[in-house]
């Protein structure tokens, strides 16, 4: 790998009104390296990416790309020069084929001006083969692809522009562990072929595994750029947040003997759940572990009435109940924080206040059918204060909040509803280190106050740190139950892969 810098930033600053997004940022990226970029939400990562991609212009400082001044006027200009960003929300056209998406905006033409689809398909195959992908047909519709396959399509699209500098923004957020490893193989192949990669991620274990060097931003400033081999995860966290984030487990009385929820022989024909039995006690965090497709989310949705059980029994506070809809689940005192906050949790076009109140609208409705806006605002302000939600106000659009603050809004929504049981499906996925710590502290605090929690998480370290017991699922069934003292990464994975 060459040790010459392909990208250099010198004193780069950017301000939005009264907010200093970047301040005097200086570092370089070596050609032919995979370079990690980390920092809490609000650290300046997205602003920096948009400056490199031509979405924003810098206010101060200098950027050099391949030794030349770099100030692109648009992403199209950046593409032409060899810089491409693959965003977390992949901007592909679902009704077009893989090949059509790869050459979107610069199709190949025959003589006479017609698009040469055969040539585009052939070149797409070549581009995919370059990164070791032979199983993805250029003729498939993108709408039929998995998230991982869409990501590979986006990378092939970048290569079609003769990309020399590839920026990946949170590329693994929606991937399974096996898909992550496949992506890493692709990225290492590209690196070995001479492509420089800027890998932006909040998953520090992946940054440690994949990257050659790491740059840390904090509050818009450059904190450090070091070889990855010289760092530990704990050191990166300290650089990101200014201190080592300890276990911070709150002292709690632990689960009581009172059984709040009991499930016996639960099954759901459409999703394949079968023979699910467990008990959830008051003030307990019951973890649910398993690999992708094990049935964890399907179980959560069955308990919440999205896909009602077709066999077995559910007892709530000792009383048999049949949950046939989310509305009924809420009335019974069960809440569910979905794993897909963007599409299933948040009302994207609404503001913070309107996202806080959907499950308690009935309680806030006055005689005559009018919403008690004063009470809604009071609850909203209390949520902002208690959960440390960083927002300009209740009238700010939810889409403009960071992922961690969006997740806090969803948690506040369910706290307002005061459920007896709260199901949390991947509550810290896609949020920064600081927000993760705050959300974990909040979960412990709520449980100490009497809430019972079912926690689904693909982050085994998180699950083992929080849960009083861990249920492990495999093939839509429970393969084992572990106490906190019995649970370990190795034991959980043994049960998850039976």
Residues 162-180, mean pLDDT to the nearest whole number: 84
Residue pair 184/131 in contact (Cβ under 8 Å)? The answer is: no
Distance CA 26, CA 19 (A): 19
Residue pair 427/337 in contact (Cβ under 8 Å)? The answer is: yes
Residue range 407-440, pLDDT digits in tens: 888 888 888 888 999 999 999 887 777 888 888 9
Second-level CATH architecture of 259-496: 3-Layer(aba) Sandwich (3.40)
Q: Within 13 A of 110's CA, how many CA atoms are on the CB side?
A: 7
Specify the pLDDT at position 238.
Answer: 83
Residues 324-350, mean pLDDT to the nearest whole number: 87
Residue 343 has pLDDT above 50, yes or no: yes
The segment with the largest mean pLDDT, out of 138-152, 237-251, 273-287, 373-387, is 273-287
Specify the pLDDT at position 3.
Answer: 57
Residue pair 426/416 in contact (Cβ under 8 Å)? The answer is: no
Tally of CB atoms within 10 A around 331: 11
Distance CA 135, CA 152 (A): 11
Distance CA 279, CA 262 (A): 4
- In this prediction, residue 78 has a pLDDT band, given cuts at 50, 70 and 90, of very high
Residue with more model confidence, 241 or 278 = 278
Tally of CB atoms within 10 A around 255: 20
Domain ranges of the chain: 5-241, 259-496
Question: What kind of fold does domain 5-241 have according to CATH?
Answer: Rossmann fold (3.40.50)
Q: What is the DSSP string of 342-368?
A: IIII--TTSBHHHHH-GGGHHHHBPTT
Q: How far apart are the first and last CA of the chain?
A: 42
Residue % of the chain over a pLDDT of 70: 95
* Token code pair at residue 98: 């893989």
Determine whether 104 is exposed, middle or buried from the number of CB atoms within 10 Å of its CB (0-12, 13-18, 19+): middle
Distance CA 279, CA 142 (A): 42
Nearest CA-CA partner of 83 in 12, 183, 168, 5: 168
- In this prediction, residue 159 has a pLDDT band, given cuts at 50, 70 and 90, of confident
């Amino acid at each position: 790998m060459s040790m010459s810098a392909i990208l250099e930033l010198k004193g780069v600053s950017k301000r939005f009104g009264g907010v200093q997004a970047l301040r005097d940022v200086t570092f370089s990226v070596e050609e032919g390296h995979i370079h990690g970029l980390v920092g809490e939400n609000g650290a300046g990562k997205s602003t920096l990416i948009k400056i490199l991609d031509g979405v924003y212009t810098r206010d101060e400082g200098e950027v050099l790309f391949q030794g030349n001044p770099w100030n692109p006027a648009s992403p199209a200009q950046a593409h032409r020069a060899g810089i491409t960003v693959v965003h977390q929300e992949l901007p592909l056209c679902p009704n077009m084929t893989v090949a059509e998406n790869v050459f979107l905006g610069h199709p190949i033409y025959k003589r006479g001006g017609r698009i040469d689809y055969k040539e585009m398909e052939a070149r797409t195959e070549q581009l995919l083969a370059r990164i070791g992908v032979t199983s993805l047909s250029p003729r498939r519709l993108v709408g039929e692809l998995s998230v991982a396959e869409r990501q590979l399509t986006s990378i092939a699209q970048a290569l079609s522009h003769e990309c020399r500098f590839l920026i990946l923004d949170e590329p693994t957020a929606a991937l399974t562990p096996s898909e992550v490893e496949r992506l890493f193989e692709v990225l290492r192949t590209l690196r070995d072929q001479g492509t420089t990669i800027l890998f932006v991620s909040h998953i520090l274990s992946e940054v440690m595994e994949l990257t050659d060097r790491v740059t840390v931003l904090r509050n818009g400033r450059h904190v450090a750029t070091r070889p990855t081999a010289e760092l530990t995860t704990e050191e990166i966290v300290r650089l990101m947040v200014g201190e080592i984030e300890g276990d911070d487990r709150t002292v709690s009385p632990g689960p009581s003997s009172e059984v709040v929820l009991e499930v016996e022989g639960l099954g759901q024909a459409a999703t394949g759940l079968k023979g699910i039995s467990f008990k959830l006690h008051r003030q307990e965090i019951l973890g649910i572990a398993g690999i992708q497709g094990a049935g964890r989310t399907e179980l959560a949705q069955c308990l919440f009435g999205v896909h009602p059980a077709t066999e077995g029994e559910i007892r709530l506070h000792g009383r048999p109940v049949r949950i046939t809809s989310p509305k009924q689940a809420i009335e019974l005192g069960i809440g569910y924080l979905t794993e897909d906050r963007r599409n299933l949790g948040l009302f994207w076009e609404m503001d913070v206040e309107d996202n806080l109140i959907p499950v308690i609208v009935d309680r806030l409705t006055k005689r005559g059918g009018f919403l008690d806006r004063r009470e809604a605002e009071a609850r909203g302000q209390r949520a902002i204060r208690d959960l440390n939600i960083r927002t300009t106000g209740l009238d700010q659009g939810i889409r403009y909040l960071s992922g961690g603050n969006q997740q806090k809004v969803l948690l506040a929504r369910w706290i307002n509803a005061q459920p007896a049981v709260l199901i949390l499906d991947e509550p810290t996925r896609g949020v920064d280190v600081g927000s993760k710590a705050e959300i974990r502290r909040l979960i412990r605090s709520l449980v100490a106050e009497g809430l019972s929690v079912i926690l689904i998480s693909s982050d085994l370290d998180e699950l083992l740190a929080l849960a009083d017991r861990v249920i492990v699922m495999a093939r839509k069934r429970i393969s084992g139950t572990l106490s906190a003292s019995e649970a370990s990464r190795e034991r959980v994975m043994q049960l998850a892969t039976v």
